[in-house]
Each structure stands twice: as structure tokens, then as C-alpha cells.
Structure 1
Amino acid sequence: MAGRISHSHNTPAGVVGLGHRLLPAAPVGLRRTHKLSLCRVAGKEVESKPVAVEYPHEDANGNGGFFPTRDPGSFPNVEVAKPSEEVPEEDEYDPLRDGPLRYLGYANECGEAFAAWLPPFGVPLSYAIAIGYVFTDTGDKFFKALKKAEKELGNAQDNDVDVGKLTKLLAGERALDTVVWQLLASVAIPGATIHVIVAITHALLISGLHLDTPDDVLPAAAAFFATVAATLSVPVDTVSTIVEKSVPTFCGLAAIPFIVHPIDETVHAILNVSMRPFARQFLCQQGGSAAGLKMCECSKMEEDFPILEENTSLVEAFRASFDEANKDH
């Protein structure tokens, strides 16, 4: 079941922090005819300057164990462009992301893998646990973002900015980003993927060994079942049933560490070309630009969202965001 690194390269104007050059210009049919308004927010020019960002991380060595760490990223990045004093970054322990509680986010994947062994309510319960974790994490990130916004916006008082409203919008955007990312990348897509893997494995096992017709079971499999049954003093049918349930379960569990990062990176890229840039621009129009937030700077927005670069197609922007996230793994 919920960070990014910046690199300095000679990339096209406005595309910062990407570890590769973008693909050649896309065909005319793939280019967008409508561009988002970027550098002028709320009728004022936004100052541009590169800012470092982090996106998905594991531990200090890049390891997350059998169940890798998932993190939708630090959205929004509530930093004031010119604060009266520097606000140090807090590297605090997050029990929902760094501790054992994060394993609750994998409950539905384990539930799908163990579906053959669980009672009828087992799989739905596993999804309820995973979704409960997602909403708990969402609430936690909302209040943390609210606290950070209140602290940093205190250095950027502006008569034209409703600080109270802006802090709530920033926290709400962080919560929205977290819940959407988590529900897609930690619940829906991985759960469906494990379900399909288990179903396909079971179908291949049944058809390959002919377990559905005991009289036609492959001789080698029948001999194996008979040997194990004699050793354990149990019926042959019991051994056959255990094998039928165990192999798909093993395949489902074994697939989890391999599907996590590709799914995470794909969802990250999808949000970077869809929801996130619109949410960022909305925040900047609602006072983020007037308050001097770094996240509203033109270069920062293009760095975070290549889709906003004038000559970047949707395919190029998706590829850029995907590769950016993939560099940490």
C-alpha cells in the first residue's frame, strides 16, 4: 500500500531536474493545441529559480525490504521564495511511512494472494484495512501540511493574501494528492494486478496438471501427490488441494516486490500530466504566487511538470516524469 531527486543538465528551457533528454518532437497529432497558462498567475510575473525536489525514496541505501516504501511525494512543496529567515527542513520520523504501520498498505495485495485460503469476507476485509490506512495517512499528511504552511507563510504576510485560506488550500491539495495517489498506486492497481496473477497461475496449474479431472492428472504429478500423501499420512486429494492453493498464493506474493515501483512510477507520471499541474496553478491563482511560494515560480512549475513546457508533448511529459521517478530505483 504512500519523494524525487533533482539533477542539473543542459535540458531545454524550463525542463529542469530530469536525468535524460526528452524524446524528439512528437508528431503534430500528438501535440496539444491548448497550453496551460504558466508564468503569469493572478496578473503578475512569477520569478524563476531552480529548486531541489525529492521523489520516491526508500531508506538511506535505497532499500525497502520485501515490501518497498511508497510515497506519493512532497506535494505541495510549501516553501516561501524570500522568507525573512530560513526555515530548516524537518527530517522527522513518519510512523505511517517509515515504520511497521506501512505494511497495512499492502493488506489488499496479501489478501488477493491468499484469497484461496481466506473465508469469503477475507479479501474484502483486506481491502478495508488498506483503504483505512490510506485515509489515515491522508489525514496525517493534511495536518502536517497545514502545520508547515502556517509556519512558513508566517514569514510571508501580504495584505493581498488570505493566509488562512491559502494554508487550508495547501493542506487540502496535499491531502487530495495523497489520497488519489494512494488509492491508485497502493490499492486499486496493485490489488487488481495480484488478482490477475493469481487467477492466471491457478488456471495454468489446473489445465497443465489436469487437477480438475482426477482421473486425468499427469502421471508425474499423480506420483508426486501419492508420495507426499504417503509421507504425511493424508489423502491424496488433500495434497492436490494444498498444491492447487499454494502455488498461486506463492506466485502472487512473489510478484509484489516486482510490481510496486513500476506501478508507483506510472501513477506518478499520470498525475504529473493530469491532476497535479492544474492543482498547482489553482493554488498559485488563489494567493500562492502573491505569497511568494517557490512552488509557483515558473521554472519550478516546469521542473515539476514537464507538461507545462511549451514544446513538450503529452507523451514526452509522461516519459520525463516516469524516468525521473525511476532514477531513484
Structure 2
Amino acid sequence: MSNSNNGATKEYDIYRDSLLRYLGYSNEVGEAFRPLIHRNFVNLSYGVAVSYVLADCYDKSSKVYEKTKDLKKTAIMTGDVFLWQMLASVIVPGFTINRITTLAIRFLRKKDLNKAIKKAIPTGLGLTSIPFIIKPIDHFIDYVMDNTYRKYF
């Protein structure tokens, strides 16, 4: 069940094609707010994102199992969804937003600005970058998955 553009008509996927997709980016919101909030809230945002990943795994895997009753196909689907979602929703975008905010903090460190502004600017940059990184990261992870995991399974 590849989400890449291989010429086939793509079925609507609530976890990847709706606003629910942004739940997978809750950890990026946490990363963006890292300069302003306690790290426990950042960690909680990762819990929300991983819950989204697990919900997508359950949804797709149960559909495959209901249709095929084949445990091997179900396990392959579970692996595919879990890897794709962890890479596309948690790991790569979390790292990206973390780097954006960290670089902004370093850049602003020596500037003569109010401390609150020095914390708010990295958060603003992190938050505003989220909508711009989603599609490129999703397409990149599709490419990676199509040329690794999906090639062998």
C-alpha cells in the first residue's frame, strides 16, 4: 500500500490526506516551543505523535488482516506504516524543527534583543516552517521506503 505516485489511483487516507496528519507533527510543535516551555511538555508532544503513528499502524494493519486473514501480509503492512510514519512524522521533521530552532537560538544569542524576543523568534520560525516541510519530507520518505523496505517486502 504505497502512497507514492506510481500512476495508480490513490485511495483517500485519513492519516495522510486530512488535517489529522498534523497530529503526527505534534512533536514538531513541541520542538518549536522548546525555548519557551519545560522539556516535559516537549516529551509529551512526542507521546502524542507516537500515538498517532500507532493509530495509523492499527488502522491499516487491521484492514489488511480483515481483507486477507494473512498474518505475514499484516506484519509487512505494520512494518511499512510504522517505519514510514516514524520517519515522516516523528524523526525527520523533529530533527528538522529542532535544528531550525537551535540555529535561530545560536544566531540570536549575541544579538542585543530582549530575552523574551530571543525565545519567541526561534519558536515562530519553527512553527511557521512546519507547513513547508510536510510534503517534501513525505515525498522523500516515500522515495526512501519505495527503494528500501518496499522493494524487499
Q: TM-score, normalised by structure 1?
A: 0.43
Residue aligning to 1:199: 102
Asked if 1:270 corresponds to 2:141, the answer is no
Distance 1:106 1:4 in 2: 20
* 4+ runs deviating over 2 angstroms: 3-6, 91-94, 96-103
Aligned-residue identity in percent? 36
Q: Which residue is 1:123 aligned to? A: 42
2:28 counterpart of 1:109: yes
| Secondary structure, counterpart of 1:179 in structure 2 | helix
Q: Is the 8 A contact 2:4 2:142 kept in 1?
A: no
Residue 103 of structure 1, CA deviation: 2.8
Counterpart for residue 60 of structure 2? 141
The DSSP-based 3-state class of the residue aligned with 1:116 is: coil
2:147, 2:22 → 1: CA distance?
A: 29
Give per-residue Cα distances to partners, 1:93-123, cap 9 Å, x unaligned.
Answer: 84x4455543321110000000112113111
Q: What TM-score do you get using the length of structure 2 for normalisation?
A: 0.87
* CA displacement, residues 52-76 of structure 1 (integer Å, 9 cap, x when unaligned): 353xxxxxxxxxxxxxxxxxxxxxx
Larger CA Rg, structure 1 vs 2: 1
Distance 1:93 1:275 in 2: 20
2: distance between equivalents of 1:182 and 1:93?
Answer: 13
Q: Deviations over 1:145-196 (max 9, x none)?
A: 22233xxxxxxxxxxxxxx5xx222222111100000001110010011000
**What aligned pairs does 1:280-319 form with structure 2 within 5 A after superposition?**
none
SS for the counterpart of 1:118 is coil
2:103 is aligned with 1:184:
no
Cα distance change on mapping 1:278 and 1:175 into 2, 3 Å: same
Structure 2 vs 1, CA of residues 102 and 252 (structure 1 numbering), >3 Å: closer, same or farther? same
**Larger helix percent:** 2
- Where structure 1 has 5 or more consecutive residues not aligned to the other structure, the ranges are 7-16, 18-51, 55-90, 150-163, 210-216, 222-239, 280-329
Q: Which residue of 1 aligns with 2:135?
A: 261
Number of paired residues? 151
1:270/1:202 CA distance change after superposition, 3 Å: same
- The within-5 A match list for 1:1-329 is 3-6=3-6, 17=7, 52-54=8-10, 94=14, 96-97=15-16, 100-149=19-68, 164=69, 167-207=70-110, 209=111, 217=112, 240-279=114-153
Question: How far apart, CA to CA, are the structure 1 residues paired with 2:115 and 2:145?
Answer: 43
Deviation of 1:139 after TM superposition, in Å, equals 0.9
Q: 1:256 to 1:92 in 2, by over 3 A?
A: closer
Tell whether the 8 Å contact from 1:104 to 1:129 is kept in structure 2 after alignment: yes
SS of equivalent to 1:115 = coil
Paired AA for residue 132 in structure 1: S
